[in-house]
Amino acid sequence: MSSCYFKFQEQTILLLSSELDVGAMKLKVKAIIFDIDGTLIDSLDVIAETLVEASKEIGYNIGSEDVKEFIGIPGKEIVKQLLKISDPQKIREVLEKWEEKQRKIYLKRVKLYPKVKETLEYLKKRGFKLATATSLTSDKAKEILQIFSIKRYFDTCVAADDVKEGKPSPHVFLEAAKRLNVKPEECIVVGDTEYDILAAKKAKMKVILFDPQKQKFKIIKTKPEHIIHSFQELKTLLSYNF
């Protein structure tokens, strides 16, 4: 069995051609589950800036970096936890203003990360089952996948309103595995936040951290199995495993 070594951050990872070697475990992977915001699409700045603007209009002063610490959990929870709002009507008001501001600039500012389509095409040809599992609502997640012409690559899309609890609960990932008809241990999650890592580990799935700015590995407390900085690296990583 051939092998290849790659250096990610300060970790050297042994990749085996037909199995993913994680410690003493050897795992056959059948499905890849992707987060959307910050993973497939470069949207984090827009998400943060628009919530800052929406919050300011109703009397709350927060910064973009404050918002980014919470990105990864459902929007409703971000508003509740960051702005310390418990009134349902007030939460809805913030969410509506936030959504309105995003829509005004979304298509101008938000883009797919480089090589996303090529990587998804490659994974489909290799026979992987693909899913998204997101903290977005179902309608918005499907709209985004359609806008960027990548919906056709995914066998299913699981959203926050499809499950009892959003990330960091494992429900979105477990539901994705169920819909794909695979075991949790046969899945790899690709995400960009610690919430993705926590949810994946609770689901007994392996996780790859997508860290395009090469900054998140230094601050996250829960470590992933692998780290990538581009989708080309993801394609290479999975090419040597299968």
**Helix (H), strand (E), coil (C) string for the chain:** CCEEEEEECCEEEEEECCCEEECCEEECCCEEEECCECCCEECHHHHHHHHHHHHHHCCCCCCHHHHHCCECECHHHHHHHHCCCCCHHHHHHHHHHHHHHHHHHHHHHCEECCCHHHHHHHHHHCCCEEEEECCCCHHHHHHHHHHCCCHHHCCEEECHHHCCCCCCCCHHHHHHHHHHCCCHHHEEEEECCHHHHHHHHHCCCEEEEECCCCCHHHCCCCCCCEEECCHHHHHHHHHHHC
Tokens (6 digits) for 214:
């090469």
What are phi and psi for residue 25, nearest 5 degrees?
Answer: -95, 140
What are phi and psi for residue 23, nearest 5 degrees?
Answer: 60, -125
Contact between residue 238 and residue 13 where contact means Cβ atoms under 8 Å apart? no
Contact between residue 39 and residue 210 where contact means Cβ atoms under 8 Å apart? yes
Active site positions, annotated: 35
